[in-house]
């Protein structure tokens, strides 16, 4: 599977000049993950500007798909305060109020609140890269099974 984070519009990561070796399975936006105790997390409107969190501490995810400098090039500056090797501990730190995290929406566990970041504009695409020797029917069925098992919606 291919995982990538790119500013919109999204290029097809790993795509080899139209040869059909990559099949997009689903897309999901990056969100700002905050503690449920944050005032903004308790409002009816779960959107925010990342720029408004400039003074906050950022919890870095060890498996972060964002390329180095992506946030800075977007004009977003957050000071990193911790790095977690895995996503679960990172979200636990966020839930405890240690800092905020930028992560794909699916990583926003029950213990954190996902705020749609209106100034971020990043999307993660999950895809399937295949060998050319495999039949299209097999790849189509495999993609259907993966998407069905995860409950995701395939891209249009």
Q: How confident is the model at residue 7 (pLDDT cuts 50, 70, 90)?
A: very low
Residue 90's CB: how many other CB atoms inside 10 A? 27
Backbone φ and ψ for 20, nearest 5 degrees, come out as 80, 15
Which range, 3-12, 65-74, 118-127, has the best average confidence (pLDDT)? Answer: 118-127
- For residue 118, give the 3-state DSSP assignment: coil
DSSP string, 5-52: EEESSPP-TT--TTSS-EEEEEEEEEEEEE-TTSTGGGSS--EE-GGG
**Is the pLDDT score of 128 beyond 80?**
yes
Joined together, the tokens standing for residue 72 give 């800075």
Residue 21 covered by a domain: yes
Pairing of strands 79-84, 101-104: unpaired
Q: How far apart are CA 90 and CA 13, in angstroms?
A: 26
Model confidence over 49-63: pLDDT tens digits? 777 777 788 888 876
Here the CATH number for the domain that contains residue 50 is: 3.40.190.290
Residue 50 covered by a domain: yes
Q: What predicted TM-score, i.e. pTM, was given to this entire model? A: 0.72
Range of the structural domain that residue 85 is part of:
2-148
CA nearest neighbour of 26 among 41, 43, 9, 4: 4
Question: What is the number of domains present in the chain?
Answer: 1
Residue 155 covered by a domain: no
Q: Tell me how many degrees the CA angle 123-36-150 measures, rounded to the nearest 5.
A: 40
- For range 94-102, the mean pLDDT: 91
Tell me which of 12 and 70 has the higher pLDDT: 70
What's the confidence (pLDDT) of residue 110? 83
For 85-121, where are the E strands, in sequence order?
Answer: 101-104, 113-117
Residue 156 covered by a domain: no
């Amino acid at each position: 599977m291919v995982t990538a984070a790119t500013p919109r519009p999204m290029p097809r990561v790993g795509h080899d000049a139209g040869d059909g070796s990559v099949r997009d399975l689903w897309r999901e936006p990056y969100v700002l993950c905050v503690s449920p105790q944050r005032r903004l997390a308790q409002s009816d409107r779960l959107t925010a500007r990342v720029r408004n969190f400039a003074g906050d501490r950022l919890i870095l995810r060890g498996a972060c798909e964002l390329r180095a400098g992506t946030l800075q090039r977007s004009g977003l500056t957050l000071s990193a305060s911790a790095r977690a090797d895995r996503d679960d501990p990172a979200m636990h730190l966020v839930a405890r109020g240690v800092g905020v995290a930028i992560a794909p929406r699916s990583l926003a566990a029950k213990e954190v609140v996902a705020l749609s970041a209106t100034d971020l504009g990043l999307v993660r695409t999950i895809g399937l890269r295949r060998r050319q020797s495999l039949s299209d029917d097999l790849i189509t069925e495999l993609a259907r099974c993966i998407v069905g098992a995860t409950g995701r919606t395939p891209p249009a």
